[in-house]
Amino acid sequence: MGDRTRTHTGAAGRAVTAGRPDSVRNVALVGHSGSGKTTLVEALALTAGALNRAGRVEDGATVSDHDETEQRRRRSVELSLVPVDWEGHRINLLDTPGYADFVGEVRAGLRAADAALFVVSAAQEADAVAGTTRALREECAAVGMPTAVVVTHLDTARTPFDELTRICGRIFGHDDPDAVLPLYVPVQGDEGPDGHAPLTGLTGLLTQRVFDYSSGERREGPPSDGQRGPLKEARDRLIEGIIAESEDETLMDRYLSGDGIDVATLFDDLERAVARGAFHPVLTAAPAPEGARQGIGTVELLDLITRGFPSPAERVLPAVTTQDGTPRPFPVRDAAAPLLAEVVKTSSDPYVGRISLVRVFSGTLRPDATVHVCGHGLGDPGGRTRPDHEAEVRVGALSSPFGKQQRPLDSCAAGDLACVSKLGGAETGDTLSENGEPLLLEPWTMPDPLFPLAVRAHGKADEDRLSQGLARLVAEDPTMRLEQNQDTHQVVLWCMGEAHTEVALERLRSRFGVRVDAEPHRVPLRETFASRAAGRGRHVKQSGGHGQYAVCEIEVEPLPPGSGVEFVDKVVGGSVPRQFVASVEKGVRAQAARGVASGNPLVDVRVTLVDGKSHSVDSSDAAFQTAGALALREAAADTRVALLEPVAEVGVLVPDDYVGAVMSDLAGRRGRVVGTEQATGERTLVRAEVPEIEIGRYTIDLRSLTHGTGRFDRAYARHEPMPPQLAARIRETAESGSKSG
């Protein structure tokens, strides 16, 4: 563990390519917003020699030169890739957003990675750290991702290092908190006037060596006499935790009998336990002190990544099938094997066009090669998928990103990641394979967007570009869903939350040149008759030449929910000629679609035509359509028209501590709790039926109520009558709107 650095690029500024899967490490950095993930990536790049001391490469690019939206918001909103080289290994650092609205980017990063590094800030309150870390831990556990923990911001700590380790132990360890233990402990200087102590170095518990950065250079030495006592207790616990996960059953007996265990053996067992997800070491890190060229703890972190995290050849990979669903064995993960790769992210560049971030699982991807692209969309809990599509596509230029810059690549071999320009119509989740036998990788799931944003074009010029801009936006981000609501006539962009909607609007403007205005989202309501009623429609006009004459009499009665509009003909004696019965029905149905009281569609009624009158000359199809509509409106005026609202079946998954608060909140939204179920990990699933008009902002409100630990899903159940007071207010609003219009 000497003082090491590695270069990032080869000659002429071209990116260095990895040769074998076992020399690659793909690591996703995950953590709560503000935990310092991007700063840590910069510190690792500096230590590995990819950045100079000023935090820049020779062309002036920096790790944090990302999307213009990110620069303005000062937080990451999308996945970014920073490759560095260390000890003969290519390390692809995948920096993921920490804000809950961008969990889709986190899932994409985990799909591309083989291990995850949790970045936890000591500057945050313990409750905030626990909530977000638990949610992210569940994301990693769902895909079997090996993990380690690195603690940042100890110089401004609100939560001590030991407390953060205990929190992570409860979250990661479940029944065995000793599966989460420090591998290195921080060394801090004297407290300043603000009560904070700067991080000056760290001590390796296994090596019992102190790495001191207080002079600006990394100096190695033994612990002081005052440090030995506390270190021994922590070291003994760490050794016991490692041995407990060892595949060598004799180690524990040797340790308990007092035999010394070789440090190299402990490191080997530690690394095997980390790689299979049985142990989660805790480290600490900080940016390089003034004048230093290595961040505190970054050498140790890079060593852990290269030695303790699994290579692409060791990871369990997704299932492979042919296009008709026939299972296929996964190809050999070798550069010489047939190509199998996947698009894990899609983005746009105003100059280059569409850019696809591709993870190569097998074979080698080369520029100008022709590959088969196919996909069946990213599935999600809501059952939403995109239609199948496939094409033979010529691969454009390959590059390796660093901030905003793209560095050319000659090829991308198995296990590695690369950006591909102009990859046809490929979308996130699509599989790239050989033309001879196209294959499909099992897709990962994306969360269902549950926060609605209704938009309209800002001006005439924007109307022409709106449809295309929204389509491209949704194609890039699978966590957005576009809806053109036929009932409310609104264009609705379903997102993950408020921050997600702000980013969507900004990208529409900056990337696609489309300005839109947000408007209140309207929930599709319905109307129905509360009781039987009758109406007479009389349409008689005479103005020279052919006149208009039609009279019809109808009876209306309510039907059970879900019946729609039923039309019955009971005319006798030919009072309404047969050719005009269909005209009456057409007029009734057209009026029902427009509504009779609040401008919402009329449903669940039977309309019976019982009588009418006609004229041999002046009666016509148009006249009887008008008469049918008038008859329905008159019938509505003689009875109470009930307003129906959609009700959703909602499942809310929360930690047990928040069940009471969630149930009270649902009751305040006119919800009915229909049951609870005990879920795994001290969590409860609360099932309820809630009017959709009450849960438009529930994504945000639930996140606030549960400190980011709760999530929910929803599905339409039925329409049912709205409370009279609320219905009256909606009718008044509709009437005032029609008068002003």
Q: What is the pLDDT of residue 68?
A: 52
Structure tokens at 688: 């309820």
Helices within 276-362 (DSSP H only):
298-308
Q: What is the pLDDT of residue 192?
A: 74
373-387, 465-479, 595-609: which is most confident: 595-609
HSE-CB for 641 with a 13 A CA cutoff = 26
291-305, 324-338, 682-696: which is most confident: 682-696
Q: What is the mean pLDDT of residues 550-555?
A: 97
Q: Which of 3-12, 183-192, 327-336 has the lowest mean pLDDT?
A: 3-12
CA distances from 707 to 467, 568, 656 (A): 37, 56, 13
Q: What is the mean pLDDT of residues 444-459?
A: 93
For residue range 117-140, what is the model confidence (pLDDT) as tens digits? 999 999 888 777 777 888 888 899
Cα separation, 426 vs 422, in Å, equals 9
Question: Residue type for 111, please?
Answer: R
Looking at every residue in the chain, the average pLDDT score rounds to 86
Q: 3-state class of 540 per DSSP? A: strand
Q: What is the mean pLDDT of residues 15-19?
A: 56
pLDDT band per the 50, 70, 90 thresholds, residue 736: low
Cα separation, 132 vs 32, in Å, equals 6
pLDDT higher than 60, residue 211: yes
pTM for this predicted structure: 0.86
The residues pairing with 529 across neighbouring beta strands, listed in sequence order, are: 641
H/E stretch holding 356 reads strand 353-362
For residue range 678-715, what is the model confidence (pLDDT) as tens digits? 987 788 999 999 999 999 999 999 999 998 889 999 99
Q: 3-state class of 38 per DSSP? A: helix
Q: Which of 290-299, 456-465, 643-652 has the lowest mean pLDDT?
A: 290-299
Contact 402, 378 (CB under 8 A): no
For tokens 């996960």, what's the residue? Answer: 245
Cα separation, 734 vs 721, in Å, equals 18
pLDDT higher than 70, residue 112: yes
**74 phi, psi to nearest 5 deg:** 60, 35
| Nearest alpha carbon to residue 300 among 575, 617, 31, 43 | 43
CA-only gyration radius of the chain, Å: 32
Cα separation, 359 vs 404, in Å, equals 19
For tokens 């530690």, what's the residue? Answer: 270
Handedness of CA 31, 403, 105, 26 (dihedral sign): negative
Burial of 647 (0-12, 13-18, 19+ CB in 10 A): buried
Q: What is the pLDDT of residue 395?
A: 92
Q: 3-state class of 100 per DSSP? A: helix
Cα separation, 405 vs 56, in Å, equals 12
Interior angle at CA 202, CA 119 and CA 208, nearest 5:
125
The residues pairing with 416 across neighbouring beta strands, listed in sequence order, are: none
How many beta carbons lie within 10 A of that of residue 739, not counting itself? Answer: 7
Extended beta strands in 565-622, E state: 565-569, 605-613
Cα separation, 374 vs 441, in Å, equals 10
**Helix, strand, coil share (%) of the chain residues, nearest 5:** 30, 30, 40
Cα separation, 571 vs 551, in Å, equals 12
Q: Note the residue count of the chain.
A: 741
Q: 3-state class of 679 per DSSP? A: strand
Q: What is the mean pLDDT of residues 373-382?
A: 67
Cα separation, 77 vs 73, in Å, equals 9
Structure tokens at 255: 């340790």
CA distances from 306 to 208, 275, 301, 652 (A): 21, 11, 9, 40
The residues pairing with 420 across neighbouring beta strands, listed in sequence order, are: 356, 398
Percent of the chain whose pLDDT exceeds 90: 50
pLDDT higher than 50, residue 382: no
pLDDT band per the 50, 70, 90 thresholds, residue 212: confident
Cα separation, 349 vs 511, in Å, equals 8
For tokens 């019946």, what's the residue? Answer: 563
Contact 440, 319 (CB under 8 A): no
Helices within 613-723 (DSSP H only):
621-637, 659-668, 698-705
